Every structure is written in C-alpha cells, then in structure tokens.
C-alpha cells in the first residue's frame, strides 16, 4: 500500500467560506481556484484509481487559516475544514484512511480546544501547523500549549512552509520576484522553523514529540555539515547573550535534535534529494508524501513522479516498505484493515 501522508484538499464548505472572508488578492487564491480536485472528491477518486494501492491521509491546502481570517474568524474556519475532511474520510475510509486537523493558530486557546475536538470526536490522526503564525515564530510561549497537547496525545504534527511573495529577498525591494519566495523561501522557512524549535528546547521537554516536515526536512539534510559543525559553535560569531546561552541549555549537540524530525518524500520526483533525506533521517523517519495536487498537471504529476523517484532511489525493499506504509501504520491511527 502507498499511504500518501501529505496530499492537500479543500472541503467545499470551507473553500466557499474562505473565499468570502479572505483578504483581497491573497497569495495562491487564484491558483487554487483553478485546481478542480482540491474540492471535487469524485474527480480526486478517479485520479487516484490510476495508482494501485494508493491512499491519502488528507491535509488542508495552503493558505494558512490564520492568514485567511483573524482570531475571531479562524476557529470557525478550522471547524469547517476539519468537519469537511472528516466527512470525506467517513464516506471513503478505504481510500482516505485518515485526515490531519488544521488549527486556528492565531487563537491558541481555540487551537488546543480544536485538537481535543478533532481527535476525540472526529478521529483526526494529527494536526497541521505552518512554519510561522502570520509572521510570528512557532517557538513563542503562546504556542507551546499546542506542542504540549500533541506530545500528550502522542500523535504527529505536520509542519508546512509559509512565506508570501511580500517577504522580499532584498531590503531594497518590496517583494520577492520570480517565485523565489516559494522555490527557495519555503525551504528556508522550514529549516529556520526547525532550528528555532530545536533551540527552544522542545525535544528536551518532549523527547517523543513527532513533527513531520514537508519536503524532506527542506535544507537540513543537504546542509548537515553546516548544521553540525556550524551550530556546535553557536555564540562564537556574535556577542548576543541569547545566542551564547542557547547552546548551554540543550542536553545534546544541535544536529542530534534535527534528526528527531521526520520528513516526507514530497520532492517532486528528485530521487537524489530523497536519498539525501533518507541518509540523514533514517528509514524510520521518512514517510511517503506527494504534495498532490499542485503539480503542473493539477493532480497526477506529483503522485506519478514521487512513485517513480521511490523506484529509482537507492534503498532496500524493507526501507521502501517503511516509507510507503510501515511508518504511517506505526505512527498514525488510521482506518485501515
């Protein structure tokens, strides 16, 4: 079985409400309106039929809920999204064995309540957060209760990158040109969020916490040498007291914490990059994910290319079984026979 743990969907009622309340001209809104399988479940199932043994654990598509609406609106949006995904799972449990709840992270109290509601009442198999909360870092104390609760629940957190075109690449400019904010900004965002969580001590507080990073841990596997030897010297390049004290608070070298994250295979067919991620994280920390349906073909491309990359990737058959289904079965409470 191929259990895709990072495809994206937009339940119809959520999608319609999002378009009503979203700020004008919001990034990706036009693009999403042109991808039918985001909202059309019947068409999604027809597309999935092309791939033998292929199932999906549903996650809500970008943009982040907290960017769509303020803290007064985001809890309603989260409920609509999560109820909608739960309904799709209930109607098609053999094709969609689970879903990942989305949270109103700009309303942390409501986010914790939504964790409990979706896991207890809807059977969510984890929650999704973004690499920042409308520009605020995840390691702020106000978001710690979300991580605490997920550690108590012993279910994973999916972490998706978020960085808009308005985040300029140069101080002299007002926006990021040529999709650099997406192509390179998103991997940077993910890597920085991982680093901030590491130095917040989150894995010392919660050593069994599971965080699945989209796109195979972004820059971290490729930059392992910099992360290792470089961050072992934290504080040596500046006189900042916070930097100088951060290393001493950790119980292990920084790179050992980065290896505690999980990665998915959503690298758009780049099998060599998948090998790098596998070498860094190990087979027990890699899960099959595609990022469907955001390929140029609006659905099938990333599924096909990721399966082909799995075929080309140098890994044992046992490792590939773990990645395709074993790790998901072990980590998630899926509705599978």
Residue-by-residue DSSP string for 7-61: -EE--HHHHHHHHHHSPTT-TTHHHHHT-GGGT-HHHHHHHHTTSTTEEEEEEEP
| Residue 264, φ and ψ in degrees, nearest 5 | -110, 170
pLDDT tens, 105-157?
A: 999 999 999 999 999 999 999 999 999 999 999 999 999 999 999 999 999 99
State the pLDDT at residue 243: 86
pLDDT tens, 27-86?
A: 455 666 689 999 999 999 999 999 999 999 999 999 999 999 999 999 999 999 999 999
pLDDT band at 254, cuts 50/70/90? very high
Cα–Cα distance, 209 to 260 (Å, whole number): 9
pLDDT band at 245, cuts 50/70/90? confident
State the pLDDT at residue 30: 60
pLDDT tens, 276-322?
A: 999 999 999 999 999 999 999 999 999 999 999 999 999 999 999 99
Helices vs. strands in the chain: H and E counts, helices first: 18, 12
Query: What's the sign of the alpha-carbon dihedral 194, 199, 204, 206?
Result: negative
Cα–Cα distance, 41 to 337 (Å, whole number): 22
Answer whether residue 26 shows pLDDT above 90. no
The CATH number, out of the four listed (3.40.50.300, 3.30.413.10, 3.20.20.140, 1.10.10.10), of the domain defined by the range 2-331:
3.20.20.140
State the pLDDT at residue 244: 81
pLDDT tens, 153-209?
A: 999 999 999 999 999 999 999 999 999 999 999 999 999 999 999 999 999 999 999
State the pLDDT at residue 218: 97
| Residue 2, φ and ψ in degrees, nearest 5 | -110, 105
Q: Which residues pair with 3 in a beta bridge?
A: 55
């Amino acid at each position: 079985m191929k259990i895709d743990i990072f495809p994206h969907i937009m339940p119809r009622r959520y999608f319609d409400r999002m378009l009503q309340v979203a700020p004008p001209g919001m990034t990706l809104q036009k693009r999403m309106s042109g991808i039918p399988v985001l909202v059309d479940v019947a068409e999604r199932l027809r597309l999935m039929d092309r791939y033998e043994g292929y199932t999906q654990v549903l996650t809500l598509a970008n943009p982040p809920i907290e960017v769509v609406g303020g803290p007064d609106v985001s809890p309603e949006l989260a409920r609509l999204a999560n109820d909608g995904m739960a309904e799709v799972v209930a109607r098609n449990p053999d094709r969609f064995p689970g879903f990942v709840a989305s949270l109103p992270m700009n309303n942390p109290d409501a986010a914790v309540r939504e964790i409990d509601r979706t896991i207890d009442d809807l059977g969510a198999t984890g929650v999704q957060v973004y690499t920042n909360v409308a520009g605020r870092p995840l390691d702020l104390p106000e978001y710690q209760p979300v991580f605490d609760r997920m550690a108590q629940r012993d279910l994973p957190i999916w972490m998706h990158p978020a960085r808009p075109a308005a985040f300029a690449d140069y101080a002299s400019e007002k926006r990021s040109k040529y999709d650099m904010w997406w192509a390179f900004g998103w991997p940077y965002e993910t890597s920085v969020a991982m680093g901030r969580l590491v130095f917040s001590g989150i894995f010392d507080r919660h050593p069994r916490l599971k965080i699945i990073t989209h796109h195979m841990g972004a820059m971290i596997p490729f930059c392992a040498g910099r992360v290792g030897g470089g961050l072992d010297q934290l504080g040596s390049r500046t006189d900042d007291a916070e930097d100088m004290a951060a290393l001493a608070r950790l119980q292990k070298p920084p790179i050992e914490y980065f290896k505690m994250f999980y990665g998915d295979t959503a690298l758009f067919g780049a099998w060599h990059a998948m090998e790098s991620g596998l070498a860094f994280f190990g087979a027990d920390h890699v899960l099959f994910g595609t990022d469907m349906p955001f390929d140029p073909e609006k659905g099938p491309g990333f599924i096909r290319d990721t399966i082909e990359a799995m075929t080309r990737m140098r890994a044992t058959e046992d490792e590939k079984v773990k990645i395709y289904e074993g790790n998901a079965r072990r980590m998630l409470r899926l509705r599978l026979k």
